[in-house]
Amino acid sequence: MDFCLSPKHAARQIEFREFADRELQPAGHTFPRDNLRKMAGRGYMGLPVPREWGGQGEDFFTYILLIEEISRICASTGVILAVHTSVGTFPLLYYGTQAQKERYLPGLARGELLGAFALSEAGAGSDAAALRTSARRIEEGYCINGGKVFITSGGEADLYTVFATLDQSLGSRGICAFLIEKGTPGLTVAPPEKKMGLHGSATTELQFTDLVVGADQLLGEEGKGFALAMSLLDGGRIGIAAQGLGLARASLEATAAYLASRLEKGDQVSQWARFTLADLFSRLEAARLLTYRAALLKEKGQPCSREAAMAKCFATDLAVEAAIRCIDLWPPDEYEGEYPLFRYFCDAKVTQIYEGTNQIQRLVISRDVLKTFHK
């Protein structure tokens, strides 16, 4: 075992941290185009994409460090990056044809194109295989009808990976994945949802009305779409764990700095405040180790479903609790300008929900635990 970051990872972590501190702004209520442009300028929109495809060729672990640091400053930017990379770019990289890769990958990796992922439907949330958006084979390719909900970067993205079923009676084996470009006739994007947090990230419904895509836009094989989506889950969850980690750090580091400044001024810091901080920082350290371990397993291609679920569940639960408890330690009137802890709390809540709710994570973990320890 070695709990120290490699010199290369440590150097990149510092680079990401300094970049986020200096260059990024919290998104507010507008889509953070400036942040994304700056990240693209550094190659961060395609960090783990091979160099031959316009990316930086970094490992998955480095990408996780990036998500953590970005989310610490702006969780909206963090989720846009995570969705763009984990589920907007990786499926193309893993399953795309040469032609599909040539067409889209360099643009995505350089951040000229933004990727999105359309799986959830009104009647298919945690039960993703119950999706009803239909794909019908036609002469020109496929005709798609249906609707998606809660699509991150909806309306802002240039390329959507959309899941639809050829035949609902086939269940998950009837599902296909399609690459659908922004502006394709038949694609309608609803106005962004009004959300509790992540105000900078656009979340929309998508409607497909007799939308025609060529057969060359099918990603992977017919009927393999669900397996494709599932294969992305572990990586996606580790990304959200890193987002939770970044958010938890945002709350905790700000609060520790505030309390330390009180001490410096000669004020007392109550034992209760100290103990709260001690508990939360201990859990933060644990969340960090769980997340990094899952990321390393993923990078090495080892099974990591349980570890990814544990990291996601633990880190995102902490992100919410850290924000709530830090609010009590830091009176709003002590802060000049926008009070950030409300934002951290509101942003954090959804990390317990998307990429598999934490209830789904507990299902994944308990199934594995029952299997492992029951002889």
Binding site for another protein (CB under 8 A): 1-6, 9, 61, 256, 259-260, 263-264, 269, 271, 274-275, 277-279, 281-283, 285-287, 289-290, 292-293, 296-297, 307, 310, 313-314, 359, 361-367, 369-370, 373-375
CB of 17 to another protein, least distance (A): 17
- Residue number with CB closer to another protein (195 or 293): 293
Closer by beta carbon to another protein, 36 or else 297: 297
Nearer to another protein, 281 or 339 (CB): 281
Angle at 130 between CA 128 and CA 134, to 5 degrees: 105
Q: Distance between CA atoms of 67 and 55, rounded to whole angstroms? A: 16
The least CB distance from residue 131 to another protein, in Å, is: 24
> Dihedral through CA 40, CA 98, CA 209, CA 167, nearest 10?
-130
355 classed as catalytic: yes
Give 1 or 99: the residue with its C-beta nearer to another protein. Answer: 1
Cα 157 to Cα 31: distance, rounded to the nearest angstrom: 11
In three state form, how does the secondary structure of 265-284 look?
A: CCCCCCHHHHHHHHHHHHHH
By beta-carbon proximity to another protein, the closer residue of 143 and 247 is 247
Helix (H) or strand (E) holding 96: none
Tokens of 331: 């009176």
Close Cβ partners of 170 (under 8 Å, ≥ 6 residues apart): 223
Q: Do 142 and 177 meet the contact criterion of CB atoms below 8 Å apart? A: no
Using the minimum distance from each CB to another protein, give the nearer residue, 137 or 300. 300
Q: What is the per-residue DSSP string for 228-279?
A: HHHHHHHHHHHHHHHHHHHHHHHHHHHHHHHHHHHHHTT----HHHHHHHHH
Active-site residue, from 121, 156, 205, 355: 355
| Shortest Å distance, C-beta 374 to another protein | 4
Whole-number Å distance between alpha carbons of 171 and 174: 6
Residue 209: which H helix or E strand, with range?
A: strand 203-214
Helix (H) or strand (E) holding 144: strand 141-152
The one-letter amino acid at 13 = Q
For the bound state, the minimum distance from the C-beta of residue 307 to another protein, rounded and expressed in Å, comes to: 8
Minimum distance from CB of 70 to another protein (Å)?
A: 20
DSSP assignment, residue 124?
A: B
Comparison of 105 and 308: residue with beta carbon closer to another protein? 308
Which tokens go with 350? Answer: 């959804």
Q: What residues are labeled active site?
A: 355
